[in-house]
A and B are shown apart, each in its own frame.
Chain A
Amino acid sequence: MSTVAGHAPSFPSRREVIEHVRALGREVVAVMPIHYPRAMLRAHRLHPIEIWGPPRVPRVEGSRHFQAYTCDIVVKATSFVRSGGIAGTKAILVPHTCDALQGMASVLGDFLHPEQRVLTLYLPRGRRTSDRDFLREELQRLGAKLSEVSGHQPSRADWMEAFEAEDAADAALADLYRRRERLAVSDRHFYQVIRAREYLTAEQFCEAATAVPEGNRPRTGVGLMISGIVAEPLELFDQIEALGAHIVGDDLACGFRRVYSTSMRNDPFERSASRLLKGPPDPTCGTPVRDRIEALQTRMRALGARGLLVYDPKFCEPELFDVPLLRKHLHEAGFPVLHVEFEMGETLPHQTLSRIEAFVETLS
């Protein structure tokens, strides 16, 4: 694995990762966004590979099963599953991130019956003690299903090894964000590494994160914070740089919202639940919007962001509920907000770029 400043990072492909984990005696589980217990999968000798609506997959097959106003992540992932994209995996795990993903789990499990087992994970919409208790029980239920899928009942040693490895990868992710200003790589390169966590093993991710070089890379233009679910395609970052701006930080579901704090509880389910509930504010976890606004303001001030770009796939309900209040309150705090909705595809539409360009001009 090599990572060179100014060049694209080099990672094993998904196929190579699958071969690698199988050689280690693990099976692959396809996982939908956003939050799920990675260590629990590992302890059960399973490896997660995430699906964020593959951009090259046509909507047609998925469109047959959902309303026209369902987001691309769900529609394209369903197309992907139906077209054999997850062949060879043991199961598909669909966390209850939003109503659209819950709907996807129902459509897959009740009507489409893929060859893989469809597993659900109901996530609480709060961070109270009762939420943690609920999540612990939900994880126990999921754990039993994972044992059925893998045929393996984790020992104490399996759990400890899994937590150690996944905590190290979580720490490597957090460290990348901490070191962001000192890293000698482009925004695109940075997010390629961040998003490699979606399919690399914990060890491979730690290696990739450590390989990101530090050094002088002068960053010019307007500093932006980017929020939303997923920044696709990665070309977006090149275009933002070409427009005279750069990303100083993010509040992306595929990025910073998964910088979890480590929990040291003894019970593995309790520990997994605590980890999932210790992430940054996230509307899909029921975080009150005021907490998200406050966290964004604090981070934007600290990182020197001039404005917030909210970049969402079309029809993302959890985000749409927050956007009007984000706009209002951040604007009042001196941080203009641009909300852009996009359709997942391989190219960036001219209109999207025009809006971002106009936004950068207003901040320049």
Chain B
Amino acid sequence: MSHVAAIGIDAGSTTCKLVAVDRDGAIIAWLLEPTEPRVEIQVRRMLDALRAEIRIETAVPAIATGYGRKLIKQATRNLTEITCHARGVFRDLGRAGTLIDIGGQDSKVIQIGEDGRPVDFMMNDKCAAGTGRFLEYTAARLGVPIEALGKRALSVSSEEPISSTCTVFAESEIISLIARGAEPDAILRGLHRSLVGRVVSMARSVGIVPPVMLSGGVARNEAVRTMIAEATGEDVIVPRQPQLMGAYGAALLGSAA
């Protein structure tokens, strides 16, 4: 196995990710878990698990990112998700352009320059609408597993428009639609359209420079990918492991330091 050059730790609001890279920037190991209330303790445990899995000979740089980044005492440095996601996606896809990162509790649009550095960005972090939480919340209300959301939304051609931009009001709207006998998959389709509308509107404020790239857990949802492509008129490219891009970028920045 290659030597570990750096470790990236993404202490996100929904999941906690660790990525180890070698000197060439290739991922040699990774871990992903739902975030626990005491993220600093969780990261310590995950680092031990990572050390048990791969040989880490000397102290290697560990860069922390994510909302809990400042709690990670093992980190040699911490950087924001903006910088780390941009670096991770740029390395993975090799493209400058517009990155949309839809995380559990926030969403960001980052314009990535030709050198892989963020040129401009915008964040939505005060409202759950436009984030993975929006989908999770309503999936629970409809009794649909989160992994099946995208497929179900694309399985129908009819669509129930959701006009509320607020998660709480959208839930009331969904209850009204269910009470009226609306088709659950058509509601799901409308729900995805509403989320995509918000993030694309944010992307337009930054300026969409093709290609459009997608990271974060929600990038695995095929309806989100399809609808972003429809709304922007651009192809949407997704890295192989979209959820790891923050931790991966952090590890890359650590190995380059």
The dominant DSSP class at the B interface is mixed
Would you call B82 and A362 a contact (CB within 8 A)? yes
**Interface residue ranges, A against B (CB under 8 Å):** 324, 331, 336, 350-351, 354-355, 357-359, 361-362
CB distance from A269 to the nearest CB of B (A): 44
Would you call B123 and A355 a contact (CB within 8 A)? yes
A362 to B119, CA, bound (A): 7
CB distance from B247 to the nearest CB of A (A): 17
- Please tell me if B120 contacts chain A, counting CB pairs below 8 Å: yes
A48 to B213, CA, bound (A): 54
Among the interface residues A336, A351, A361, which one has the most CB atoms of the partner chain B within 10 A?
A361
Known: A361-B80, A362-B82, A362-B83. A351 touches B125 (CB 8 A): yes
Chain B residues, CB < 8 A from A350: 67
A359 to B117, CA, bound (A): 11
Would you call B120 and A358 a contact (CB within 8 A)? no
- Please tell me if B38 contacts chain A, counting CB pairs below 8 Å: no
A331 to B106, CA, bound (A): 25
Would you call A331 and B80 a contact (CB within 8 A)? no
CB distance from B63 to the nearest CB of A (A): 12
Known: A351-B125, A354-B125. A331 touches B120 (CB 8 A): yes
Q: How many residues of B contact A (CB 8 A)?
A: 16
Identify 28 residue pairs between A and B in the complex whose beta-carbon atoms are under 8 Å apart, listed by A's number: A324-B205, A331-B120, A336-B119, A336-B120, A351-B106, A351-B123, A351-B125, A351-B126, A354-B81, A354-B125, A357-B80, A358-B80, A358-B82, A358-B83, A358-B118, A358-B121, A358-B123, A361-B79, A361-B80, A361-B82, A361-B83, A361-B118, A362-B82, A362-B83, A362-B117, A362-B118, A362-B119, A362-B120
A336 to B82, CA, bound (A): 15
Chain B residues, CB < 8 A from A359: 121
A334 to B47, CA, bound (A): 41
Would you call B120 and A354 a contact (CB within 8 A)? no
Would you call A354 and B80 a contact (CB within 8 A)? yes
| 5 residue pairs, one from A and one from B, having the closest CB atoms | A358-B82, A358-B80, A351-B125, A361-B83, A362-B118
Chain B residues, CB < 8 A from A358: 80-83, 118, 121, 123
CB distance from B8 to the nearest CB of A (A): 15
Closest to B113 in A: A362
Other than the known A336-B119, A351-B123, A351-B125, what 12 A-B pairs have Cβ atoms closer than 8 Å?
A324-B205, A331-B120, A354-B123, A357-B80, A358-B81, A358-B82, A361-B118, A362-B82, A362-B83, A362-B117, A362-B119, A362-B120
Chain B residues, CB < 8 A from A324: 205
Closest to A362 in B: B118
Closest to A357 in B: B80
A350 to B68, CA, bound (A): 10
Chain A residues, CB < 8 A from B121: 358-359, 362
Q: Mark B63-84, 1 if CB is under 8 A from A, else 0.
A: 0000100000000000111110
